Chains A and B, each alone.
Chain A
Amino acid sequence: MAGIRLERLGKVFGATRAVDGIDLTIPDGEFVVLVGPSGCGKTTTLNMIAGLEVPTSGDIWIGDDRVTDWEPGDRSLGMVFQSLALFPHMTVFDNIAFPLRVKRVAPAEIERRVRAVGDTVHVGHLLAKRPATLSGGEAQRVALARTLVVEPSVFLMDEPLSSLDAKLRVEMRTEIKRLHGTLRSTFVYVTHDQAEAMTMADRIVVMHQGRIQQVGRPLEVYGNPANRFVAGFFGVPAMNFVEGELHAESGGARFVAQALGLSLPGQRLGSGPAVLGVRPEHVRLVSAGESWPAAVSLIEPLGDATLVFLDYGGPSSLVAKVDAEEKLAVGDRRSFTFRRDRIVLFDAATGGRLST
């Protein structure tokens, strides 16, 4: 069992700063998901933890050891790769036995442990097969078994589910989370899929352009984004952004945009260009109170809810997520408002969070 600590960790490839001096502490037993768009540095960070990339600067600690310049094999890690990396010239048994053979475990012990772990992840009946003959889900399980068999204290996973179809992906997601519940080892999981991050993580680390944007529990990151990038990254459909101006008022502030204006009492925000963010589920169709008129331009029923695109006179439509029972038709004129306690404001220039 071991926690992980990254100190000012950086990696430069030629002229590119892939990872730009990040600090992160992962307590023992936590399931951490590194998430971000491709090229954000999440895989490079994972590879540095694994020892497959040498950091340009900074240090990596696993447990009480400074492992920055250790060989990958000495770090007592298990890693599952995007391509799964099953050895095509070996049977499933030999694949799972490989890490044990490297460690010169006795043959009888290898036999016992491979069969035991094979039963745990339900690949016991596949041991004689070659990887090429396995289905996507089976190969996934074999890759897991090969990682589990040495009982590592840290699991690293690099988008392990990306090759699976949507249904299987959701199943394996649950299964990996359950596995973490049983093992209580430290898991570091890399993905670009925000749904995987939200559903699996104890804590999410959002990365962008080599830097950590926010670290927090899934609902924290979703509901209380640190900046515009994080706000836009999570949520389907994405958060609505309205560009406008903030004006300081006596006893609060006022946000003014094209065809839209709302007062924010009790908030000291200063003045200047700003961006208002509101999630579709926090846009309400109302008939009274402070609201703005709009025309319904498009309707997308999801089954459990309906997405409504509202043309209110601004540069782009607002998306509202409303109850599926709501009676609506394209062309309807409706009034809408926002849930005030869920509005977030960002600095227009830096994208940093303004309100609380």
Chain B
Amino acid sequence: MRQRGFPLFPLVRHTLLLAWAAVTLFPIYWMVMTSFKQAAEWVTWPPRWFPHEPTLVNYVKVLTPGTSTFELGRQTLKILKPIGDSLIVSGIGSLIAVLLGSALAYSWARFGTGGRSYPYNILSIRMVPPIVIAVPFVVYFVTLRLLDTYTGLILVYLATSLPYVIWMMLAFVEEVPVELERAARVMGASRWKVLRSVVLPLTASGLVVTFLFVFILNWSELLLAMTLTNTEVSTIPIQLNKFQSANEGRDYGPQAAIGTIATLPVVVLGFLIQKHLLRGFSFGLLRK
């Protein structure tokens, strides 16, 4: 019926989608290209779409060991320390969040711990804009001497990740039929054995997906990190942010290299978990 006519609608739709994709992907494309360019090509006119003499010099520059502290208003372009800090803070924060959150999700799904509206209450943490909690956090952190420490930032990321972990893990735990656990218990398995032999293997992929998801969020978090740290701890988003007004504001090549390095794990992990994310979220929506 409709197939006989000219497929106008799909054509228009695809054209628009492609155009939009080009708009959103262009800055990323430009960043990646710039990161492989020699200094001379950064700002040439007319612009060069590809580096004529591809080079890794920008990467070498930013990845050479050194410090990344301020030197009288100058910042260096070293990022090994920020990468390390980001890994420590996002990694540990996300890991603890997944451990605690999945236990919470399980106990809520199975025993109704905390009452019927518990997950919704937890979710309300995420309803508050981060800027609202950032300033009170500073006050507390000064008192507790947590400002500019790994522990402080890990605690903050733990708190902000928990709602996501609980909600994602709820969807995965609810997929495990209660009867499987009951069958195992009748066969003599202890509660721990049931968790280890039945629940854990069936939710393992969910745990991995959830971890990667909150890891990406924490990896790219800027506002709280910037408010609660100074010189001792510096994550990658903070480091990127420093370029805007610094003297090296025109060091486009190394900046692009840092940007590319910071984006890479997010993109790779995002592609890896994309399928699972859709599955996890849609189940959560359908059930509620």
Contacts and interface: CB of A to CB of B under 8 A. Distances in A.
A73 B202 CA distance: 22
A313 interface: no
Looking at B188, B193, B201, B202, the one whose CB has the most chain A CB atoms below 10 A away is: B188
Interface residues of A, number: 24
A98 interface: yes
Interface string B150-182: 000000000000000000000000000101101
B183 interface: yes
B185 interface: yes
B187 A150 contact: yes
Given A52-B186, A99-B188, A102-B189, A87 B179 contact: no
Contacts of A82: 179
A339 B188 CA distance: 54
A334 B177 CA distance: 57
B184 interface: yes
A331 to B, nearest CB: 51
Contact of B182 (A81, A87, A103, A146): A81
Nearest to A100: B187
Given A73-B189, A99-B188, A102-B193, A89 B177 contact: no
A195 interface: no
A200 interface: no
Interface of B is mostly: helix
Contact of B185 (A52, A87, A89): A52
Contacts of A103: 188
A50 B186 contact: yes
B185 A73 contact: yes
A72 interface: yes
Contacts of A87: 180, 184, 197-198
A274 interface: no
Contact of A73 (B177, B188, B201): B188
Contact of B186 (A79, A88, A89): A79
B181 to A, nearest CB: 9
A168 interface: no
Interface residues of B, number: 17
A308 B74 CA distance: 101
B179 A81 contact: yes
Interface in A79-96: 79, 81-83, 85, 87-89
Contacts of A146: 187
Contacts of B202: 88-89
A318 B104 CA distance: 59
B182 A85 contact: yes
A36 interface: no
B110 to A, nearest CB: 12
Contacts of B183: 79, 81, 85
B106 to A, nearest CB: 17
A47 to B, nearest CB: 8
A52 B180 CA distance: 12
A102 B187 contact: yes
A52 B189 contact: no
Contact of A72 (B179, B186, B198): B186
A77 interface: yes
Contacts of B198: 87
A103 B177 CA distance: 23
B196 to A, nearest CB: 11
A51 interface: yes
Contacts of A150: 187
Contacts of A156: 186
A85 B179 contact: yes
B206 to A, nearest CB: 13
B179 to A, nearest CB: 4
A85 B188 contact: no
Given A81-B182, A83-B177, A102-B193, A89 B201 contact: yes
Nearest to A50: B186
A150 B193 CA distance: 18
Interface in A277-318: none
Contacts of B177: 83, 85
Q: Which of A51, A77, A78, A89 has the most CB of B within 10 A?
A: A89
Interface string B122-152: 0000000000000000000000000000000
A52 B189 CA distance: 13
A31 B197 CA distance: 33
Nearest to B190: A73
Nearest to B201: A89
Given A73-B186, A82-B179, A102-B184, 14 more contacts: A50-B186, A72-B188, A73-B190, A77-B186, A78-B186, A79-B182, A83-B179, A85-B177, A87-B198, A98-B197, A99-B187, A102-B188, A102-B189, A103-B188
Interface of A: 50-52, 71-74, 77-79, 81-83, 85, 87-89, 98-99, 102-103, 146, 150, 156
24 contacts: A50-B182, A51-B185, A52-B182, A52-B185, A52-B186, A72-B185, A72-B186, A72-B188, A73-B187, A73-B188, A73-B189, A73-B190, A79-B182, A79-B186, A83-B179, A87-B180, A89-B202, A98-B187, A98-B197, A102-B184, A102-B189, A102-B193, A103-B188, A150-B187
- Shortest 7 CB-CB contacts between residues of A and residues of B: A73-B188, A99-B187, A85-B183, A85-B179, A102-B188, A79-B186, A81-B179
Interface of B: 177, 179-180, 182-190, 193, 197-198, 201-202
